[in-house]
Structure formats: C-alpha cells, structure tokens
Amino acid sequence: MLKTIRYYAGMGIYYIKLSLLGWMEYPMNLAAWLGTNLLQFLVGFATIKFVVQEFGALNGWTYSQIAFLYGLAMLSHAFSIILFIQTWHIGGIMLAGELDRFLLRPMNVLFQFLFMDFNLIGLTDLLPGVIIFIYGCMQVRFSWTLYSTLAIMAVLFGATLIRGALFMATGSIAFWTKSNSDFSGINLNIMDRTTMYPLTMYPRIIQMIFTFVLPFGFISFFPASAFLGMDNGFSFPSWIIWFTPVVGIAVFTLSCLLFCAGLRKYDSAGS
Amino acid sequence: MPLIKVNDLVKEYTVIKKGKGLKGALKSLLHKEKEILRAVNHISFSIQHGEIVGYIGPNGAGKSTTVKMLSGILSPTSGEILIDGLSPQKDRKRVVQNLGVVFGQRSQLNWDLRLGESFELLKRIYRIDDRQYQENLAMMDAILEIHKFIHTPVRQLSLGQRMRGDLAAAMLHSPQVLFLDEPTIGLDVDGKQAIRKFVKEINRLKQTTVILTTHDLGDIQELCSRLIIISEGTIVEDGSLSDLIDRIAPYRILHVELYEEAELPIHPLAEKIRQDGTAAVYRFDKKKVTAAQLIEDLSCFCKMKDFRLEEARIEDIIRAAYHKKEKLEGV
Ligand SMILES: Nc1ncnc2c1ncn2[C@@H]1O[C@H](COP(=O)(O)OP(=O)(O)O)[C@@H](O)[C@H]1O
Ligand SMILES: [Mg+2]
C-alpha cells in the first residue's frame, strides 16, 4: 500500500518533470502565448470597466468588487488549464489511440490520463489572473489573515476541481458517441459567464441551476460574495466559502467515475 | 500448462450507422441504427512457452482485435483468455507487466520525448532495476543499433528507426510474452531483416513467446514455427507451414526438355499433363516420389536436355487457406 503510494507519487512528479523539460525546449512558444493572452484578458477587463462606468454598477457590485471576483475566477481557470487541459479533448485522445497505450502500461489509466499533460500554456492565463486578482484585492482592501489565506487556497483548490469535472464529464460522452465531439467551447463560455460576473444579475431559475445542478457558483461567486459581504441570492452564511472544496471533490469524483464507466465501454480505436 | 490459453473467444463491435445526407443525419440523430459486427468468432488456441506463432489472415480477419483482447486493451464479448494463468481483463496490471506489445501501425512511444527519455520513462513505469535495464538496453542495441538515434525526438524518427525503438521499448522490462501486430509493415529490406533477427534472438536468448501478425511471407517463412490462420474471425488452419504446404499443395511440377522429339511414357507415380514436341510437363506428389527418382526413370526412355522444377508458391498456399480451399490443384 505504502509502496503503491510512493510509486504513484514518484511517477506523478516524473511526468510533471518531463512536461516541464518539454516546454523548456520551445521557450518561444510560451512567450508567444503569453503575449496574445495577456492582451486578450486586458481587453476583456477594459470592457468591464467601460460597462461599469457607463451603467454605474452590476447589481450593486462596484468595479473594484468585480475585479476581485474576476481575478479569483481567472486563477482557478489558469490552474485548470495547467492541470486538466487533456480533459478538453478526451474524444480526440481516444480516437488517436492514446488510451490503448495507457491500457498497455501496468499503471492506473485514470492516473496516466490526469498526469499525461502538465500544460504550461496555463501560465499565460495565470499571470494576468494574478495581476487582476492583486489589483482587485487592493481595490477592495482585502485583509490577508491566516484564515482568509487558507480560505482562498481552499477555494482555488475546489474551483479548479469543479472546472476540471465539467470538462471531464462532458468529454467522457465521447466514450458513448465514439466521436470527437468537442464541448470545450461551450463549457468555457458558460464558465466565463457564471464565474466572472455576479450570479445575482441572472434570473432566479438560472441562479438555481448554477448552484444546485451545475455548481459553478462555487467557483468564484459564492466565495467572493462571502469575502466581500455581498448578497449571494440565497442568504448563504459566510462559511459557504468552505463548500467550494467539498463541492469540488464531490463533482470531480463523480466525473472520474463517469470517465471510468466510459473506459469500460471503450472499444479501442480502429486498427 | 500452456502459457497462453484462449477459449471460445468472441468479440462483437457495435457500429453506429450514420445516415447519408442531411435527411439521413437527422434521422440517425433521432433513431440511431446500430449494427453488430462480429470481428472474432469463437476462437480457441493454446500457445506453449517459447513458441513463435504467426497469426495470419487477410485484412479485416480479426487479427488486431484478437491481439488487443490478449493484451487487455479490449474486453471480449464472451470467452476466456488466460496468460500465464491470469486474465488480461481482470488482472490487467499484472498481466501487462509481463507483456510487450508493438503495433506497426501506431507507435507506443511518446511523440514529444526523445527515444532515450521514453526508455527512461518506461524504466520507471515498469520499475525495472538498473542492472536489468542496462543489460537489456545493451542487448537490444547490439541487434537494433539504437544508439544511433537514441537522442532523437520520436517524432523525427524514420519508420524503420521508430519500429526498432518500439521493439526495444516493448522488451525493456523483459516480458515473457511479446505481441507484434504487423511489425514489418512499410519497412525496407534492411528494416525487416533487423526486426526478424531481433525476434529470433530474443526467442533464443530469453525464450520469449511471440505472437506475430504479418502479411509478409519472409516473416512467416523465417520466423514462425507455427501458423494460426484466421479468416472472417474464425480459425481455418493451425499448424506448421510445412504441414500446410504438404496438405494444401502436395504437388510439384517437372518441366522436361528433350534433344529430339520422342514420345515420353506415362510414369506410375507422376501424371503427364502435356507434351508439345520436345517439351513435356509432369505433375507428381512429392510424398510419393522424389524429383531425382522421376528424372532417373524418365532418362531411361530418352535423352534429356534440361529440366526445371516448379513449386507451389507460399503466397498461393496461404491464399488458398484464407479461402478455406482444401487443395491447390494446378500449382
Ligand atoms: N474499434 C472498432 N470499432 C468497430 N469495428 C472495428 C473496430 N476495430 C476493428 N473493427 C472491425 O473489425 C473487423 C476486424 O478488424 P481487425 O481486427 O482490425 O482486423 P485485422 O487486424 O485482421 O486486419 C474489421 O471488419 C474492422 O472493420
Ligand atoms: Mg490489423
């Protein structure tokens, strides 16, 4: 048992090391991504500034508060790209026969899948995320105590898992359709709309859906409103923050189960 | 006890039929038409430790499907597989620890890594100890000359180099069993020769049991002590190549040329097919009479200028087996 844990921990670290070495061979790729993404996000950010100045505030949220929300959401977005980019194209990986390779190795397939790609392109989202989040924290005078630091870390952990779970669950559909159906565009769109703006600006039914069905409210909106003392639409108390890691672990486990169920249906890919 | 035991194996694929055109696409969206395709149909065989078995059959016969089930990638629809007493499906991790698999059509190496890095990764995955790793690498280098491209990224390797790399990768952990699915496909003469030499050597040195699918007659003749021939998912032959030749193509043809026209006799053990002037053709069963005997007998009647023996072509014999023909008539 202990040996198994040591083995998998060692392999996980080794996979990450290999990915990093791979990225170091092509540093220009990363630089180019960083350039375009930074621009993209600053443009998005400027748009919000424009909207907020034009209409006052979004549902009672000031520009500074939105910056905090937006930054928090971007951080978990970046982490989920670094850790889980492979869940965006499960169909493609399946059709390319990579799962066959995983099945030939004396190692857990889900583990190999989760560690197959440690994607530094995520850094290009992480950097703007950090800038905006720090800016937001300063604007709202966020107080960094031990409690709030731990809470932020727990939220980022859970939020990253919630995002990973959505991509993994929708990607696993490919096991049944046996096609390269790609949901990542839709997924990203929904995530952006539900994590970068206050949920309270949407109709009640939408708020319910993104709380109880697809729990994206826990990625950034519920934690941010708790930190900032804003209305979350459900009168959740401030310890709702701690629901994010719980929800994250729960939905990620569910999506892993779905992946494994799909794997059992897997019929290899052509000859 | 056989090392590999396959009992009444069946694999069915469910294929979703896609409709033609927009109307068909809409229709198939609402009502998916499914079709069951039986790729492997009640197959049984056993393979002993140390055998090299050619698993032969036309395209689509079900060879790759069988190999994938044997190696734990696919689950059988029904039937049983035991490799060294374990099921590749129920005990996947333990079985593959003792298995090397190479697909000629698709590399098992990581495209993003250098070949050597791929080996290092495999060393960790299979928990190969340092000594064994170095020994195996040295042995494989001696035959496959891997050192020439060990620092090249896998994506930049030529097909021949990639296949050598794939073979070495499959044997790094000293598996008892090696599955090769069309390992020589697309390779040049030297490439094929390297692969064959490697298979022979590891079989000799390590008694590795090999199952090999191929369309290459050279592979079959040089490597396989036993052939299992499948066609449309069922086994049609299981035996040695020479037995197959003896049974399907027992005949040889003797062409005789004379100095001057003379009527050649009918031989009791050979059939005279035709004679045109000085040229005559005999067909005989090689188990009943040797070519030397036949020539000697005929020389008593005439002066022979030249003769030529014709054998059935292996290709034709195997094709006859594919089509479940009992005998090749002509040659
Ligand atoms: N993943 C798959 N899904 C559906 N049908 C498949 C799949 N793989 C193979 N087949 C079909 O099964 C049959 C046997 O294929 P295969 O085992 O690849 O044959 P071979 O390797 O002998 O050429 C073929 O008719 C092929 O089209
Ligand atoms: Mg095949």
Please state, in angstroms and rounded to a whole number, the distance separating the CA atoms of residues B192 and B219.
Answer: 8
Distance (Å) from the alpha carbon of B317 to chain A's nearest alpha carbon: 26
Instruction: Identify each DSSP E strand in chain B by its residue range.
Output: 4-17, 33-47, 52-56, 78-83, 99-103, 177-181, 209-213, 226-231, 234-239, 251-258, 270-276, 279-285, 304-310
For residue A271, tell me if it sits in a domain: no
φ, ψ for residue A156 (rounded to 5)?
A: -65, -40
Say yes or no for a CB contact (<8 Å) between A105 and B125.
yes
Q: Determine the distance separating the centroid of ligand 1 and the alpha carbon of A30, expressed in angstroms.
A: 40
Counting from 1 in the atom list of ligand 1, the atom nearest the Cα of B58 is 22
Looking at residue A31, its pLDDT comes to: 80
Looking at residue B266, its pLDDT comes to: 83
Please state, in angstroms and rounded to a whole number, the distance separating the CA atoms of residues B73 and B274.
Answer: 56
Domain membership of residue A51 as a residue range: 2-263
The pLDDT of B20-31, averaged and rounded, is 67
Q: Does A53 touch chain B (CB under 8 A)?
A: no
Looking at residue A176, its pLDDT comes to: 86
Please state, in angstroms and rounded to a whole number, the distance separating the CA atoms of residues A149 and A137.
Answer: 12
Decide whether any atom of ligand 1 lies within 6 Å of the B17 Cβ.
no
List of domains in chain B? 48-245 (3.40.50.300), 250-311 (3.30.70)
Percent residues over pLDDT 90 in chain B: 63
Q: Which of residues 75-134 of B touch A (CB under 8 A)?
A: 75, 92-94, 96-97, 99, 101, 103, 105-106, 108, 112-113, 117, 121, 124-127
Please state, in angstroms and rounded to a whole number, the distance separating the CA atoms of residues A178 and A175.
Answer: 5
User: Two tokens at A255?
Assistant: 């999506």
Please state, in angstroms and rounded to a whole number, the distance separating the CA atoms of residues A69 and B12.
Answer: 52
Looking at residue B273, its pLDDT comes to: 87
Looking at residue B150, its pLDDT comes to: 94
For residue A270, tell me if it sits in a domain: no
Decide whether any atom of ligand 1 lies within 6 Å of the B39 Cβ.
yes
With H, G, I as helix, E, B as strand and everything else as coil, classify residue A229: coil
Higher confidence at residue A245 or residue B113? A245
Residue B99 near residue B179, CB atoms below 8 Å: yes
For residue A107, tell me if it sits in a domain: yes
Residues of B in contact with A95 (CB under 8 A): none
Residues of A in contact with B96 (CB under 8 A): 103-106
The pLDDT of A31-43, averaged and rounded, is 77
pLDDT in tens, B81-94: 999 999 999 999 99
Residue A244 near residue A222, CB atoms below 8 Å: yes
Local confidence band at A271 (pLDDT 50, 70, 90 cut-offs) = very low
Looking at residue A245, its pLDDT comes to: 97
The pLDDT of B290-319, averaged and rounded, is 87
User: Two tokens at B263?
Assistant: 């009527």
Interior CA angle at B42 toward B36 and B47, to 5°?
135
Per-residue b/e over A14-25, b at no fewer than 16 CB within 10 Å? ebeebbeebbee
φ, ψ for residue B284 (rounded to 5)?
A: -145, 155
Task: Point out which residues pair with B235 in neighbouring strands.
Answer: B230
Please state, in angstroms and rounded to a whole number, the distance separating the CA atoms of residues A13 and B72.
Answer: 27
Counting from 1 in the atom list of ligand 1, the atom nearest the Cα of B68 is 17
Q: Of all helices (H) and strands (E), which one includes residue A17?
A: helix A2-25
Looking at residue B15, its pLDDT comes to: 81
- Cα Rg of chain B (Å, integer): 25
- Asked if residue B144 has pLDDT above 50, the reply is yes
Please state, in angstroms and rounded to a whole number, the distance separating the CA atoms of residues B240 and B177.
Answer: 20
Residues of A in contact with B103 (CB under 8 A): 100
Looking at residue B20, its pLDDT comes to: 66
Task: Point out which residues pair with B269 in neighbouring strands.
Answer: none
The pLDDT of B30-51, averaged and rounded, is 90
Looking at residue B16, its pLDDT comes to: 74
For residue A140, tell me if it sits in a domain: yes
Cα→Cα distances B129→B107, B125, B126, Å: 24, 11, 9
With H, G, I as helix, E, B as strand and everything else as coil, classify residue A69: helix
User: Two tokens at B229?
Assistant: 């021939």
Count of CB atoms situated within 10 Å of the CB of B294 = 22
Q: Which of A80, A70, A258, A96 is nearest to A159 (CA)?
A: A80
- Asked if residue A98 has pLDDT above 50, the reply is yes
pLDDT in tens, B276-296: 888 989 999 888 898 899 888
Least confidently predicted of A163-177, B122-136, B166-180, B307-321 = B307-321
For residue A116, tell me if it sits in a domain: yes
Local confidence band at B251 (pLDDT 50, 70, 90 cut-offs) = confident
**pTM, to two decimals:** 0.87
pLDDT in tens, A135-188: 899 989 999 999 999 999 999 999 999 999 999 999 999 888 888 778 888 898
Residues with CB under 5 A from ligand 2 (ion): A 271; B 64
Distance (Å) from the alpha carbon of A189 to chain B's nearest alpha carbon: 25
Q: Determine the distance separating the centroid of ligand 1 and the alpha carbon of B77, expressed in angstroms.
A: 14
The pLDDT of A231-250, averaged and rounded, is 93
Percent residues over pLDDT 90 in chain A: 52
Residue A217 near residue A199, CB atoms below 8 Å: yes
Q: Determine the distance separating the centroid of ligand 1 and the alpha carbon of A102, expressed in angstroms.
A: 20
* Mean pLDDT over each residue of chain B, to the nearest integer: 90
Residues 6+ apart with CB under 8 A from A103: A109, B71, B72, B73, B92, B96
Helices (H) and strands (E) in chain A, counts: 12, 0
Please state, in angstroms and rounded to a whole number, the distance separating the CA atoms of residues B210 and B202.
Answer: 9
- Asked if residue B328 has pLDDT above 70, the reply is no
Q: Which of residues 85-144 of A touch B (CB under 8 A)?
A: 97, 100-101, 103-108
Q: Which of residues 241-270 of A touch B (CB under 8 A)?
A: 264, 267-268
Which range in B32-36, B50-54, B322-326 is most confidently predicted, on average pLDDT? B50-54
Q: Determine the distance separating the centroid of ligand 2 and the alpha carbon of B166, expressed in angstroms.
A: 17
Q: Which of A106, A264, A268 sits opposite B97 (nearest CB)?
A: A106
Higher confidence at residue B141 or residue B33? B141
Residues of B in contact with A10 (CB under 8 A): 124
For residue A108, tell me if it sits in a domain: yes
Residue A140 near residue A49, CB atoms below 8 Å: no
**Nearest CA residue ID for atom 7, ligand 1:** A270
User: What does DSSP say about strands B234-239 and B226-231: parallel, antiparallel, or unpaired?
Assistant: antiparallel
For residue A268, tell me if it sits in a domain: no
Please state, in angstroms and rounded to a whole number, the distance separating the CA atoms of residues A261 and A256.
Answer: 9
- Asked if residue A112 has pLDDT above 70, the reply is yes
Structural domain tally of chain A?
A: 1
